[in-house]
């Protein structure tokens, strides 16, 4: 039996149909000229969604969290000071990952649901090697001002987590001063999970670790096969076997997104998120993320006091085949996370989740 | 336009049709009970193909090379002596990866095309922490005797690369004394590349690194979500977003393989490989791998002196849509690698590649 779901949680989202179709196309070899052409086009389209001209822009062959690890393992030298803006789970994770890479981590803690306080982060240390922040916190539904961090970063490198922002809201890596960025495919890019779109600028690459502790994520080795190789037209060096089907699927989704145009895609996310958030407030529910910093693609809402969070989610899943997410960390049972990302960023999806939640709350009441 | 290929190189191979169909099924959330049941079943079927009862048997969320990294990053403590049997590219890679994890590597070099010399490896160091070897060297088409290494390993842990052997030839992790094993999906398992089936026994897990340098591959964290969690029926802890579509595809391929039965699958590989190798010799070509140690699923053959290796491969690809592999390392232009793996381990595939090669050689001659 095939189980079908409306994936309205914090990710994965339902992929764009083009991405699903592409997964089932006849497989190509990872060194086949036909595949290398697809890889090069995918890297070029990734540059567009990142807002960068970085030659080293590529899909890393693992999920978004491996992108985070690639960012730090290639840039953190032993003892480097890394200032991390922590306003949710993924900021916390950055601290753990950077510390394992040898960093002296300076964590700048924020209340969950709040955006990054740019002044506090920039003044946390006089001369950090790296400043790191999450653009769109998947755990809280909050956007932060990466451009302001970039403007004030000084000599530090700026590492940015764009897992939940890429292809959902405005992202301008070069204009904002992002030196290293990583993302995931399973949110607004509308592809199944499995790849980490990644970009690194020349300034960061020049300061890279010559022989990182990770062989799999070593950008010196990866660059010979994807990203810069495509730009420079040089020969391909075998490193590992690329996840061919996933890359072909990413290519199809990117083509779909750019065909619609990035501004139109952002506007579609904005519209769907506004409908959802307005509807939730009209139902008397309280939003969790700070006003003015709410992500349209991922909405956090407080569970009403007398309501069993898990029972509502189970009702949605079992009766309506509709998944929303529990809260993260300490908010597991007091917050819901509702994503309208990628193919799901549509008015009908917003209506459906509102109606289904109303039904579930009526059952729970 | 859809490009179709006969993938008769060293991998990826053409997936089992069931695996391709599964890729395009409606996506499930990574914490959906329906997906967790599929993940648990996949882990259980992986135990069968590994020949193990290890609770910690799981598909790591990246390609086979990340499985190699997971093996060493979780078991190598700084300064540990790791004896590596090097009889091809993937043995070399083990040395690099283990060294980055802090190992003092003792490489036992062999001629390419030769199997591992068990006595030399076992006597290379009086008390290694780890002995590591490749079961089926993808670079040379050679099988080695892992059971003999396991019988003589003493107190050392035995790490085994089964990327090209799993579900193609006999593999018996527990009987052979394999403590840590990793594989890939894109060879005899008949799935697209993207996952690293992995297994680790209690003895190795007890000696593990408490906080490995890699967060993404940290088995302490992974175990809460897959593998042991499925066995112990405990709660699931979110670590990273599993590559859902790939896991569902792996599940479908494993079900297909076990439905046919492992001995029947091994016999099918054996038969296809024999037909191919007999046919190549009948054409007057010389096999590269040492006699008695040739893999049925991956055949290496010497390029005749006057023949342009690349031109033949191009002819096969362009005229017949058929991919075979170049040699690895120093043998790039003097050896071909022909894989009949997974769904391609069939008599008709053996006939086709022989006929196509005959045609290409006639063009070249």
Per residue in A59-85, pLDDT (tens digit) is 999 999 999 999 999 999 999 999 999
pLDDT tens, position by position, B152-208: 999 999 999 999 999 999 999 999 999 999 999 999 999 999 999 999 999 999 999
> Quick check: B234 pLDDT over 60?
no
Number of domains in chain A: 2
A193 & A288 share domain:
no
Average pLDDT over residues B11-38: 96
Selected for mutation to probe chain B from A29, A212, A314 (highest B CB count within 10 Å) is A29
Whether residue B255 is found in the same domain as residue B267: no
Among the ranges given (A145-154, B148-157, B215-224), the one the predictor scored with the smallest mean pLDDT: B215-224
Give the CATH number, domain containing residue B200: 3.40.640.10
Tell me the shortest Cα–Cα distance from B151 to chain A, in angstroms. 30
CA distances from B286 to B30, B138, B283 (A): 49, 18, 9
CB B69 within 8 A of CB B78: no
In degrees rounded to 5, what are phi and psi of residue B217?
Answer: -105, 15
At A275-287, the pLDDT tens digits run 999 999 999 999 9
Range name among A56-65, B216-225, B356-365 with the lowest pLDDT average:
B216-225
Instruction: Say if the Cβ atoms of A12 and B30 lie within 8 Å.
Output: yes
> Looking at CA atoms only, how far is residue A28 from chain B in angstroms?
6
Average pLDDT over residues A184-205: 98
Q: Which of A7, A65, A241 sits opposite B11 (nearest CB)?
A: A241
Can you give chain B as a three-state secondary structure string? CCCCCEECCCCCCCCCHHHHHHHCCCCCCCCCHHHHHHHHHHHHHHHHHHCCCCCEEEEECECHHHHHHHHHHCCCCCCCEEEEEECCHHHHHHHHHHHHCCCEEEEEECCCCCCCCHHHHHCCCCCCCEEEEECEECCCCEECCHHHHHHHCCCCEEEEECCCCCCCCCCCHHHHCCCEEECCCCCCCCCCCCCEEEEECHHHHHCCCCCCCCCCCCHHHHCCCCCHHHHHCCCCCCCCCCCHHHHHHHHHHHHHHHHHCHHHHHHHHHHHHHHHHHHHHHCCCCECCCCCCECCCEEEEECCCCCCHHHHHHHHHHHHCEECEECCHHHCCCEEEEECCHHHCCHHHHHHHHHHHHHHHHHHC
Chain position carrying tokens 């290519």: A251
Longest dimension (CA), chain A: 64
Across the interface, do A244 and B192 touch by the CB < 8 Å criterion? yes
For residue B193, being part of any structural domain is answered with: yes
Instruction: Kindly report the nearest CA distance between residue B176 and chain A, in angstroms.
Output: 28
Question: Quick one: what percent of chain A has pLDDT higher than 70?
Answer: 97
Instruction: Tell me: do B120 and B222 sit in the same domain.
Output: yes
CA A337-A340-A344 angle, 5° bins: 145
Backbone torsions φ then ψ of A130, nearest 5 degrees: -140, 140
Q: What is the pLDDT of residues B139-167, one digit of tens each?
A: 999 999 999 999 999 999 999 999 999 99
Is residue A306 assigned to a domain?
Answer: yes
- Is residue B348 one of the residues assigned to a domain? yes
Q: Which residues of chain B make contact with A97, given a CB cutoff of 8 A?
A: 215
Are A201 and A303 contained in the same domain?
no
pLDDT given at position B231: 58
Q: How far apart are CA B360 and CA B352, in angstroms?
A: 12
Q: What's residue A7's pLDDT?
A: 98
CA distances from residue A293 to A117, A133, A289, B85 in whole angstroms, order as listed: 12, 15, 7, 56
User: What does chain A come to in residues?
Assistant: 365
Indicate whether this model's pTM tops 0.90: yes
Q: Are B88 and B112 in contact (CB under 8 A)?
A: yes
Q: Which residue is closest to A100 within chain B, CA to CA?
A: B213
Best of A19, A194, A221, A315 to disrupt the B interface (most B CBs within 10 Å) is: A194
In a domain, B1, yes or no: no
Cβ <8 Å between B27 and A14? yes
**B321: confidence class by pLDDT, cuts 50, 70, 90:** very high
- Is there a contact between A8 and A322 (Cβ–Cβ < 8 Å)? yes
Q: Which domain holds residue B354?
A: 6-12+261-364
Q: Is the pLDDT of residue B58 over 80?
A: yes
Residues of chain A contacting B65 with CB distance shorter than 8 Å: 215-216, 239-241
A28 plus A67 within the same structural domain: yes
Q: What does the pLDDT look like over A232-249, one tens digit per residue?
A: 555 677 889 999 999 999
Residues A28, A74, single domain; the answer is: yes
CA-CA distance, B245 to B79, in Å (whole number)?
A: 39
Closest alpha carbon within chain A to B30:
A12
Euclidean distance between CA atoms B194 and B23, whole angstroms? 12
Q: Which of A12, A222, A252 to mutate to test the interface with B (most CBs of B within 10 A)?
A: A12
Q: What pLDDT is stored for residue A54 in this prediction?
A: 97
Same domain for A46 and A85, yes or no, is yes
Whether A1 maps to a domain, the answer reads: no
Contact B149, B122 (CB under 8 A): yes
Least confidently predicted of A36-50, A229-243, B276-290: A229-243
Given pLDDT bands bounded at 50, 70 and 90, which one contains residue A211?
A: very high
Contact yes or no for A65 and B246 at CB 8 A? no
Q: Is residue A287 part of a domain?
A: yes
Closest Cα to residue A301, out of A345, A340, A270? A340
Same domain, A215 and A289: no
Q: Tell me the CATH number at B315.
A: 3.90.1150.10
Q: How large is the average pLDDT for residues A129-148? A: 98
Percent of chain B with pLDDT over 90: 93
Length reported for chain B: 365
Which of the two residues, A236 and A298, has the higher pLDDT score? A298
Stretch B49-56: mean pLDDT: 97
Looking at chain B, which residue has its C-alpha nearest residue A4? B26
ipTM: 0.96
Query: Residue A231: its pLDDT value, please?
Result: 59
Among A228, A259, A290, give the residue marking a domain's end.
Answer: A259
Find the mean pLDDT for residues A164-173.
98
Same domain, B224 and B301: no
Of A26, A61, A213, the CB nearest to B5: A26
pLDDT above 70 for B62 = yes
Q: A347-364 and A309-320 helices cross at what angle (nearest 10)? A: 120
Within 8 A of A186 by CB-CB distance, chain B residues are: 241
Domain boundary among A259, A283, A310: A259
Check pLDDT > 90 for residue A311.
yes
Asked whether residue B326 is assigned to any structural domain, the reply reads yes
Token reading at A265: 């895609």
Residue B229 has pLDDT above 90, yes or no: no
Of B28, B194, B317, the CB nearest to A5: B28
* CB contacts, 8 Å: B213 with chain A: 100-101, 213-214
Instruction: Using CB atoms, pick whichever of A14, A29, A194 lies closest to residue B243.
Output: A194
Q: How far is A10 from chain B (nearest CA, A)?
A: 9
**CA distances, B196 to each of A220, A238, B86, B325 (Å):** 22, 18, 21, 22
- Which pLDDT does position A234 carry in this prediction? 52
List chain B residues with CB under 8 Å of A212: 100
Of A12, A30, A239, the CB nearest to B244: A12
Q: Under an 8 A CB cutoff, do A66 and B61 touch?
A: yes
Which residue spans within chain A are E strands per DSSP? 6-7, 56-60, 81-86, 104-109, 130-134, 136-137, 142-143, 157-161, 180-182, 196-200, 298-302, 322-323, 325-326, 335-339
| Residue A139 included in any domain | yes
How confident is the prediction for chain B on average, in pLDDT? 96
The residue that leads in pLDDT, A64 or A229, is A64
CA distances from A210 to A128, A184, B102 (A): 20, 26, 16
Instruction: Kindly state whether residues B265 and B339 are assigned to the same domain.
Output: yes
B279 and B338 in a single domain? The answer is yes
Tell me: pLDDT of B233 over 60: no
Closest CA in chain A for residue B15 = A27
CA nearest B217: which of B19, B52, B71? B71
Among candidate residues B259, B283, B299, the one where a domain is terminated: B259
| Same domain, residue pair A248 and A338 | no
Nearest-Cα distance to chain A for B166, in Å, is 17
- From B239's Cα to the closest Cα of chain A, the distance in A is 9
């Amino acid at each position: 039996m095939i189980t079908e779901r409306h994936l309205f949680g914090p990710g994965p989202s339902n992929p764009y149909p083009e991405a699903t179709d592409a997964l089932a196309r006849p497989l190509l070899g990872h060194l086949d000229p036909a595949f290398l052409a697809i890889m090069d086009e995918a890297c070029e389209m990734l540059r567009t969604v990142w807002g960068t001209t970085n030659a080293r822009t590529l899909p890393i062959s693992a999920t978004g969290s491996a992108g985070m690890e690639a960012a730090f393992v290639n840039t953190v030298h032993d003892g480097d000071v890394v200032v991390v803006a922590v306003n949710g789970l993924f900021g916390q994770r950055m601290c753990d990952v950077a510390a394992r890479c040898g960093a002296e981590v300076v964590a700048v803690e924020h209340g969950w649901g709040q955006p990054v306080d740019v002044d506090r982060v920039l003044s946390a240390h006089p001369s950090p090697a790296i400043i790191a922040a999450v653009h769109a916190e998947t755990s809280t539904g909050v956007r932060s001002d990466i451009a302001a961090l970039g403007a004030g970063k000084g000599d530090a490198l700026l590492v940015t987590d764009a897992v939940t922002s890429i292809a959902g809201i405005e992202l301008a890596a070069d204009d904002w001063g992002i030196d290293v960025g990583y993302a995931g495919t399973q949110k607004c890019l509308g592809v199944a999970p499995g790849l980490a779109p990644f970009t690194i600028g020349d300034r960061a690459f020049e300061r890279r670790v010559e022989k990182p502790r990770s062989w799999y994520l070593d950008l010196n080795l990866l660059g010979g096969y994807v990203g810069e190789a495509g730009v420079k037209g040089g020969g391909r060096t075998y490193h590992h076997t690329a996840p061919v089907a996933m890359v072909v699927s990413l290519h199809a989704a990117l083509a779909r997104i750019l065909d619609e145009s990035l501004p139109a895609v952002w506007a579609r996310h904005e519209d769907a998120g506004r409908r959802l958030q307005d509807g939730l407030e009209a139902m008397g529910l309280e939003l969790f993320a700070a006003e003015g910093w709410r992500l349209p693609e991922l909405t956090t809402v407080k569970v009403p006091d007398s309501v069993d969070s898990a029972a509502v989610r189970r009702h949605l899943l079992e009766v309506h085949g509709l998944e929303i997410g529990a809260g993260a960390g300490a908010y597991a049972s007091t917050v819901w996370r509702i994503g309208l990302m990628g193919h799901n960023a549509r008015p009908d999806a917003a209506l459906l989740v509102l109606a289904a939640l109303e039904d579930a709350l009526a059952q729970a009441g």
